[in-house]
């Protein structure tokens, strides 16, 4: 079937019209308020059974979208006044049963200089790393009514992998990434630091008078950008209730209710300001008037947003049925029967059936191509969620087979073969976001 490029173009433009800022990725600047708070702006969420250790699950979330690698001297970091949460619902009630919470602290060795580092950084505690971060990890369990039952710190003062500055400053960045893997709790591992943005899509050509490139030549819009990422590997038994292998997962960020914008310090209780479950929900499906409302709520009340999924504007643009789309509602709000359905209230969750083992050979279209270990059964780093979701909206599940595509099927950098699996961050010294030489000669 011929690629429906013009339909894709219209869909991409619709996405841009719905979003408050540039529609760059899974959850990059997807709502008006969070666009002004990048340290708390979540970009992606992943959950998948580990192939090397089948009894474990990998949970990955990322924040701080569109990190330009060369932004010296104040490089990117996690927010000191932000709680980064990965939540697990193990019984289908759309309430958290277990939360892994990450809190960060910034340390400056010498505040009288402006440098991020004063020499080559060869270890995570290197004295030449002038600005560094550490983090703690808590495992929180909740009662059925949503009250905190127990909070246990399972990781204390762990080092964050710094930004990839360049060949003189971070001569062996891969080694630093490896050093960042730390044991937390019983049988679990954690990692936090800068990585390549793992989301991939091809929309950067849209603005150039419909200059969409064919398969194999389209470029990853997010290629060359980095994010701040958190990776956690836990035993299935830590998040799965016996006899109930399907879990619902979402991440969120919280800040204290009173924050001084000049100092960054806060007071008061933590308040949710952002969340992320299924990729592209808020960016593509939720209307502009409800984007901030969606981001600041828990998933349990998501039935109020059902109309956006049942009657999606994106389907209209794709020439697909745009009323009573119960197939889209199921994929996002209930799970798919026989695969990862959780029951309970309608809720936007990344649902993972931990009873399905990792695939020996991954297929980038996941479940649509018969790979039941792939998206929307959880989400692996290499799953092409843009193509999958576009094809579903275009009618793949309701008798209209199609191959709608953005023509980008892989990330701009290869993912690592071992935990934390993310691709290495782009270095600031040599990166891809300079203007072409010809552009610098434009006469104003």
What residues does 85 pair with on adjacent strands? Answer: 101, 252
* pLDDT band at 22; cut points 50, 70, 90: very low
**Rounded to an integer, what distance in angstroms lies between the CA atom of residue 380 and that of residue 383?**
5
* In-domain check, residue 330: yes
pLDDT for position 219: 77
Copy the structure tokens of residue 118: 């004063």
- Say whether 105 sits in a helix, a strand or coil: strand
pLDDT for position 28: 63
* In-domain check, residue 86: yes
* In-domain check, residue 258: yes
Q: What angle do CA 243, 245, 246 make, to 5 degrees?
A: 130
* In-domain check, residue 433: no
Sheet with 226-235, strands from edge to edge, namely: 42-49, 56-67, 226-235, 188-196, 182-184
* Mean predicted confidence (pLDDT) in 212-222: 66
pTM: 0.90
**Rounded to an integer, what distance in angstroms lies between the CA atom of residue 290 and that of residue 307?**
12
pLDDT for position 391: 93
Copy the structure tokens of residue 400: 């209209």
Q: Is 45 exposed, middle or buried (0-12, 13-18, 19+ CB in 10 A)?
A: buried
Question: How many other C-beta atoms can be found within 10 angstroms of the C-beta atom of residue 182?
Answer: 16
**Rounded to an integer, what distance in angstroms lies between the CA atom of residue 216 and that of residue 206?**
16
Is pLDDT of 392 > 50? yes
* In-domain check, residue 441: no
* In-domain check, residue 443: no
Q: pLDDT digits over 423-439, tens only?
A: 999 999 887 764 444 44
Residue 242 and residue 210 in contact, taking contact as beta carbons nearer than 8 Å: no
Q: Which residues fall within 8 angstroms of residue 437, CB to CB, at 6 or more apart?
A: none
* Mean predicted confidence (pLDDT) in 212-221: 64
* In-domain check, residue 440: no
Domain that holds residue 180: 5-428
* In-domain check, residue 436: no
Question: How many other C-beta atoms can be found within 10 angstroms of the C-beta atom of residue 258?
Answer: 11
The total domain count for the chain is: 1
Q: pLDDT digits over 295-327, tens only?
A: 999 999 999 999 999 999 889 888 899 999 999
Is pLDDT of 397 > 90? yes
State the average pLDDT for the chain: 87
- Between 263-277, 335-349, 362-376, the lowest mean confidence (pLDDT) is in 263-277
**Rounded to an integer, what distance in angstroms lies between the CA atom of residue 226 and that of residue 426?**
7
pLDDT for position 30: 58
For residue 332, cis peptide bond before it (omega within 30 degrees of 0): no
Q: Which stretch, 132-136, 254-258, 259-263, 394-398, has highest mean pLDDT? A: 132-136
Residue 299 and residue 342 in contact, taking contact as beta carbons nearer than 8 Å: no
Q: pLDDT digits over 117-155, tens only?
A: 999 999 999 999 999 999 999 999 999 999 999 999 999
């Amino acid at each position: 079937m011929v690629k429906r490029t013009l339909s894709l173009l219209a869909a991409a433009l619709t996405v841009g019209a719905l979003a408050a800022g540039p529609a760059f990725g899974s959850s990059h600047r997807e709502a008006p308020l969070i666009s002004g708070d990048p340290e708390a702006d979540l970009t992606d969420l992943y959950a998948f059974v580990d192939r090397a250790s089948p009894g474990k699950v990998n949970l990955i979330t990322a924040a701080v979208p569109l990190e330009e690698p060369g932004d010296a001297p104040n490089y990117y970091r996690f927010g000191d006044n932000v709680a980064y949460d990965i939540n697990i619902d193990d019984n289908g009630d759309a309430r958290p049963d277990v939360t892994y919470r990450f809190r960060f602290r910034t340390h400056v060795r010498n505040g009288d200089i402006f440098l991020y580092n004063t020499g080559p950084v060869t270890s995570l505690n290197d004295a030449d790393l002038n600005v560094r971060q550490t983090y703690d990890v808590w495992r929180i369990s909740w009662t059925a009514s949503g009250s905190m039952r127990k909070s246990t710190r399972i990781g204390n003062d762990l080092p964050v992998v710094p930004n990839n500055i360049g060949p003189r400053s971070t001569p062996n960045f891969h080694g630093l990434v490896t050093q960042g893997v730390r044991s937390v709790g019983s049988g679990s591992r954690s990692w936090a630091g800068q990585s390549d943005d793992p989301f991939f899509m091809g929309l950067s050509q849209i603005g150039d008078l419909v200059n969409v490139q064919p398969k194999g030549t389209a470029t990853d819009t997010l290629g060359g950008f980095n994010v701040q990422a958190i990776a956690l590997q836990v035993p299935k038994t830590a998040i799965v209730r016996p006899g109930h292998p399907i879990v619902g997962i979402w991440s969120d960020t919280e800040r204290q209710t009173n924050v001084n914008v000049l100092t960054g310090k806060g007071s008061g209780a933590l308040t949710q300001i952002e969340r992320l479950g299924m990729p592209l929900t808020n960016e593509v499906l939720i209307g502009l008037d409800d984007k901030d409302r969606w981001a600041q709520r828990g998933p349990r009340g998501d039935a109020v947003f059902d109309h956006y999924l049942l009657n999606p504007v994106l389907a209209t643009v794709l020439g697909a049925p745009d009323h009573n789309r119960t197939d889209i509602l199921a994929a996002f709000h209930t799970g798919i029967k026989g695969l990862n359905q959780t029951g309970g209230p309608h809720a936007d969750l990344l649902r993972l059936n931990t009873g399905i083992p990792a695939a020996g050979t991954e297929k980038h279209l996941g479940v649509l191509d018969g790979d039941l270990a792939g998206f929307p059964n959880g989400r692996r780093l290499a799953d092409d969620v843009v193509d999958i979701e576009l094809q579903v909206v275009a009618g793949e599940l309701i008798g209209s087979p199609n191959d709608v595509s953005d023509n980008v099927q892989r990330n701009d950098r290869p993912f690592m073969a071992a935990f934390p699996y993310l691709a290495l961050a782009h270095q600031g010294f040599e990166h891809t976001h300079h203007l072409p030489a010809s552009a610098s000669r434009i006469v104003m």
